Structure 1
């Protein structure tokens, strides 16, 4: 087809599509371009859910799950789209996060549940996530990014830490989810969070208070707490704005709005806190996995993130990263072939070796640029092309893939670090690491009047964890606590 006639055809086709795809948004009431039907939204949710669960796992707490189902269904009934088949899940991650997928799928991490201090905070964030679904934010994001063919399917209060475009490229190759929305979408969902939580009887001012907790978490960097993505408004600004929204709503709709602090505190008593040692943990510069019985070093000052399906770590400058996953295949050769095919790799070097007595296969490769249907092949800049060093290691009836990645320009400087990590993959036999128990949040009754610091110290919390516990409780160290008040402490 001639180039000029093709462009004319494309313009006519897109114009026709936009004319027929206009629909009224259920939240705003405005007519807008809609490139995703309700059936398509539901299909996306159904297709995405298994990947979410495989990546993060479900957290088994029947009381908490029943509570989330009850409040979610009540809120769905008062939402702008009550007929969607909503489903609610608690995922097994310590990260403070909540996100939604089109079609009615809503996920809270156990990490965010541990940081709520009353039912009203929970309800506000739940309304925020349902708001992403009712306002069709995924469909509107698809519309705005039609020509770049970027599918955005989630909206998080917080999202896993992003360490540069290098790791994003491999994440796309590994099929992970991109959980981004615009600032306007986030603000609109804050409005809906206030509205929906208020309609089921909760004081939405508490939702604003939770943004104060998020701000403190974002300022406490360098731990297992993710940074805010650039698409999210500043949590301090959201604190002020949500408080005003709640005040305005309550002035127009006078009622007795509930907080229910003690009820929620008792509900989360005993919830797991931080990393689940059974899934692996980082300590003193090493990643240990007790159940799978292996260990390997984590480079100094690198940040890490763990999940049931993979372990990621990256330099703070974002120029290099490593990811550990299970490889597909019953042999090293089969695993290598599957990897090259699935990640569209152009292999530069490869060879077999042994790592601490374990058979291994090493590949140096580049990820080939993906060509969208109907697009001409573009030349990839060799300096920014993603280069990957992969060590496939056969250990205890499984094959692990340890990827080191950087741009072509930075790969040689990073390769020594990648190699040092991979070549120190070895068996784990230390009883202290193998038998490590998870930390949990326990709800205790304050034995005395005093400052928060004095109360939790009297309850046995070490002095170096008072600030951490203060964030968990939404309190400052010098805040006054009265005798009999329920407080959260961290212990094994």
Structure 2
């Protein structure tokens, strides 16, 4: 009887939610299940916009910011919700991404800007995100999650199991992985429609998808070589390959709305705004120069063995030996106060520290031990080194792919840690980031030649092709404007 009463209560609650939570969708004109008014949506977006600004840096280029804002507002004015106060923000991140929050807050990274090649393509990316806002995708997703959470809370009260719902987690998942096939395709359809209304060719949406698919192919190639999972942009192409045909259809449908005037492309103006754009990790995240790593904000440098490739990731620095024979990663933690090496390593999950001993590193407090770790190629014994500098701990972990080679690389791992030092005045000058430069291609120039003189640390030829939408095998034409890296 208790279960029957609970079922009746849940059904009554859900019926009430459906009755009170219906609103007209601005795009479709149909009734949607939402538990948020437009005013609440705008307030929520403003709240989480501040959280985004706390967690992500805004790219410091007022001219580029004004240009992106101008293109974004051009799209927003012809959308289904032109009354919203839209905000377009360029995020200082090399990650290829764009995302939207409720109420008209749109974000695009400098990472994705680098790989676009016209204003129309920029408008397509922004149009896709505006489509998420106008169709209230995040609001609908949050409402469904909240309804589930309410029901879950009642169930929890009845069963003694608590339930909770963090709204930002709902939006965070959409930022990282998208909204699912149906809503991503709807955002593409709306974006293509807004492109046509704003005077751009809707085919730019397909061009952007092509750019992103090439990114995905390149990422898959890198992941295979590095023995890891591939990371992907959250857009529609990542959810299902069959969407290509449907995407062609929605773009063709939008193309029928084009005006008689010539569609705006804006390639030269767009590239002019990209000249000098930061490429790859910013100076705030550390700079790779050959086999050396410089981090100006934290005032330290490292030297890796020649021939090793270095990958500066958001959460760690990863160095890979030729033929992936060994790997070493460096992580940095800010400490609340003085800490023993043993206490710190225990916090990191190491248990047997009986053989922990001091390591001489240019006067810095450092300790080392070997410990079992689980890697992508099985369980191994790793060389662990922790170094303390000011209020930070630097954790070095080195492991050979083949267990029999661990001793062979052990000295290399130690040498990397021993190379830790504060930057000299000359090194601080070297710790400047890479930037895009726009040039006009000379006759017979080839990417293989440009790659040899490029400062891009890894996969330079492939990166240059991707930057210029000529991946995997195209070559520049004489007189063509090219993006290179300096």
Contact 1:441 1:489 in 2 (8 A): yes
Q: Secondary structure at the residue paired with 2:438?
A: strand
| Native 8 Å contact 2:462 2:471 kept in 1 | yes
Residue pairs, 1:209-220, within 5 angstroms = 209-220=207-218
Paired residues for 1:67-466 under 5 Å: 67-146=67-146, 147=148, 149=165, 151-153=169-171, 178-221=176-219, 222=222, 227-228=231-232, 232-234=236-238, 241-255=246-260, 256-281=262-287, 289-294=295-300, 306-307=313-314, 311=316, 324=331, 327=334, 329=336, 332=339, 357-358=364-365, 395-396=389-390, 398-399=391-392, 424=417, 427-429=420-422, 434=428, 435-448=430-443, 450=444, 453=447, 457=450, 461=454, 465-466=460-461
Cα distance change on mapping 1:444 and 1:282 into 2, 3 Å: closer
Residue by residue over 1:88-142, the C-alpha shift from the partner in whole angstroms, topping out at 9 and shown as x without a partner, is 1111111111111112111111111111100100000100011111111112222
- Do 2:388 and 2:394's aligned partners in 1 also have CA atoms closer than 8 Å? no
Number of the residue aligned with 1:488: 483
Matched-pair contact (CA < 8 Å) for 1:295–1:427:
yes
Instruction: Note closer, same or farther for the CA distance 1:30–1:275 as it changes in structure 2 (3 Å cut).
Output: same
State whether residues 327 and 392 of structure 1, in contact with CA within 8 Å, keep that contact through their aligned partners in structure 2: no
Quote the Cα distance in structure 1 between the aligned partners of 2:256 and 2:470: 28
Which residue pairs with 1:368 in the alignment? none
CA drift of 1:24 comes to: 1.2
TM-score normalised by structure 2 residue count? 0.69
SS at match of 1:41: helix
CA distance in 1, matches of 2:353, 2:118: 55
Aligned partner of 2:371 in structure 1 is none
Q: 1:160 — aligned with what?
A: none
Q: Verify the 8 A CA contact 1:155 1:180 in the aligned structure 2.
A: yes
**Maintained 8 Å contact 1:138/1:153:** yes
Quickly say closer, same or farther: Cα 1:240–1:66, change in 2 above 3 A.
farther
**SS of equivalent residue, structure 1 residue 115:** coil
TM-score by length of 1: 0.68
- Displacement, 1:429? 3.6
Corresponding residue for 1:373?
none
For residues 447 and 32 of structure 1, the distance between their equivalents in structure 2, rounded to whole angstroms, comes to 56
* Aligned mates of 1:346, 1:442 — CA distance in 2: 45
Partner of 1:121, secondary structure, is helix
Question: What SS class does the counterpart of residue 153 from structure 1 fall into?
Answer: helix
2-structure distance, mates of 1:287, 1:452: 29
What is the root-mean-square deviation of aligned Cα atoms in Å?
4.7
1:470 to 449, 452, 465: 465
Alpha-carbon shift at residue 230 of structure 1 (Å): 7.8
Q: Distance in 1 between matches of 2:309 and 2:15?
A: 49
Question: CA contact under 8 A between 2:440 and 2:480: conserved in structure 1?
Answer: yes
Once the 2 structures are TM-superposed, how far is the Cα of residue 47 of structure 1 from its aligned partner?
Answer: 2.7
Report the more deviating stretch, 25-34 or 350-359: 350-359
Instruction: Tell me the number of residue pairs that the alignment of Structure 1 and Structure 2 aligns.
Output: 413
Q: In structure 2, do the counterparts of structure 1 residues 204 and 141 end up closer, same or farther at CA, with 3 Å as the change threshold?
A: same
The Cα shift of 1:64 comes to 0.9
SS across alignment from 1:220: helix
Cα shift readout 1:369-409 (whole Å, capped 9, x = no counterpart): xxxxxxxxxxxxxxxxxxxxx9997632x3459699xxxxx
